């Protein structure tokens, strides 16, 4: 990470809520992740541990942005990205560690996909598992099958179809990318109004991806860029509340896709089913944890950078000309 006169710094947004020691590692790892200057915005949702203030005071390129309270993930990201309307930005959880060159690699992949609105890295867990961060949009069949069977039968066909874990890691498009870490084209992001603040946490990344997809944008998985995500901070602090928020967001997303009086019985069934699963997750850690991941991070060593040859190469058809030019360095990996 070096200063370049005349080059706008890459906006990096992290939403903080008493992030602890992880935040310092997040900021430090950025130095080797990109050669571009960066501007880190900590959209703080009411931290009480004093860490965001200390990190901002320690690093000249880090700015603290109090949001006024715990307004949720998507709303805080929107606040962190305000003031930038074009180019690329990076949104990531504060417990992410960037591997060397990972952000530059995301930008390189973005240049290969002129219709991309988001580009996401391979996400490795501290246990060296590969998190399935590039999934299909949930449909009624896959969503129900995944929710019902994922925790007890991880290799079931609905979870496999939704998570796409039977595919070897490769550069490809996806229905949506995990909001715990991704590069986003700001012109595309703001063209759909950014994240829907109605989602407090979870499914805001799914909803954003669907709205962008309806406008012709793509979401690209780039396993040639790798980050490590610890994950689960909020869940460990408030497991029951986070389970409630997760199931409420799932219901909001699925119900919105089946509107009208005709679908009222279906929405009632979804409410009952998700409510039952939420209660079950309170007493069963296995249900709460969901389907175990099926692939190891070691697979990233075997051809993960091979691009999908089906990608569009016609730059003229891109909805936004700015995304191909990550030139100026302007520019948000769901389970958090």
pLDDT digits (tens, 9 = 90+) for 60-115: 999 999 999 999 999 999 999 999 999 999 999 999 999 999 999 999 999 999 99
pLDDT band at residue 325 under the 50/70/90 scheme: very low
Structure tokens given for 238: 């408030």
Residue 17 and residue 47 in contact, taking contact as beta carbons nearer than 8 Å:
yes
- For the residues 8-17, what does the mean pLDDT come to? 96
pTM of this structure: 0.88
Beta bridge partners of 222: 121
Residues making up the chain, counted from first to last: 336
Residue with tokens 């997303």: 253
Q: What share of the chain is helix, strand, coil (3-state, %, to 5)?
A: 40, 20, 40
What confidence tens digit (pLDDT) does each residue in 254-309 have? Answer: 999 999 999 999 999 999 999 999 999 999 999 999 999 999 999 987 544 556 54
State percent of the chain over pLDDT 70: 87
User: What six digits make up the tokens of 3?
Assistant: 């200063």
**How far is the C-alpha of 25 from the C-alpha of 83, rounded, in Å?**
26
Compute the average pLDDT of residues 175-185.
Answer: 98
Whether residue 149 is predicted with pLDDT greater than 60 in this model: the reply is yes
Of the candidates 232, 233, 267, the one whose C-alpha atom is nearest the C-alpha of residue 250 is: 267
Can you give the residue ranges of every domain in the chain?
10-312+324-328
- Asked if residues 63 and 56 have their Cβ atoms less than 8 Å apart, the reply is yes
pLDDT at 308: 56
- What average pLDDT does range 120-135 have in this prediction? 97
Q: Which two tokens stand for residue 55?
A: 């990190």
Domain 10-312+324-328 has CATH 2.40.160.10: no
Alpha-carbon distances, residue 168 vs 115, 123, 311 (angstroms)? 23, 14, 17
pLDDT of residue 1: 61
């Amino acid at each position: 990470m070096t200063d370049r006169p005349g080059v706008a710094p890459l906006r990096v947004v992290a939403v903080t809520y008493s992030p602890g020691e992880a935040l310092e590692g997040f900021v430090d790892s950025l130095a080797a992740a990109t050669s571009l200057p960066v501007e880190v915005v900590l959209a703080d949702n009411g931290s009480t541990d004093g860490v965001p203030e200390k990190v901002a005071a320690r690093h000249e390129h880090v700015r603290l942005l109090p949001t006024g309270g715990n307004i949720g993930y998507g709303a805080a990201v929107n606040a962190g990205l305000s003031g930038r309307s074009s180019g690329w930005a990076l949104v990531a959880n504060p417990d992410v560690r960037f591997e060397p060159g990972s952000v530059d690699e995301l930008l390189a992949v973005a240049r290969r996909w002129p219709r991309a609105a988001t580009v996401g890295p391979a996400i490795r867990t501290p246990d060296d598992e590969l998190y399935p961060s590039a999934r299909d949009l949930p449909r009624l069949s896959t969503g129900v099958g995944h929710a019902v069977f994922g925790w007890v039968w991880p290799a079931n066909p609905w979870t496999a179809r939704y998570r796409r874990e039977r595919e070897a890691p490769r550069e490809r498009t996806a229905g949506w990318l995990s909001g715990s870490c991704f590069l986003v084209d700001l012109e595309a992001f703001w063209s759909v109004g950014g994240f829907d603040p109605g989602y407090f946490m979870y499914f805001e990344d799914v909803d954003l991806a669907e709205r962008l997809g309806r406008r012709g944008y793509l979401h690209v998985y780039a396993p040639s860029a790798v980050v490590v995500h610890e994950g689960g901070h909020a869940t460990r602090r408030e497991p029951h509340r986070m389970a409630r928020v997760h199931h409420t967001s799932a219901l909001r997303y699925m119900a919105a896709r089946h509107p009208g009086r005709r679908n009222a019985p279906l929405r009632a069934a979804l409410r009952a089913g998700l409510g039952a699963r939420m209660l079950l997750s309170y007493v069963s850690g296995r249900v709460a944890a969901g389907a175990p991941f099926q692939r190891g991070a070691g697979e990233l060593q075997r051809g993960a950078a091979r691009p999908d040859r089906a990608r569009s190469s016609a730059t003229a058809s891109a909805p936004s000309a700015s995304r191909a030019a990550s030139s100026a360095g302007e520019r948000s990996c769901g389970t958090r």
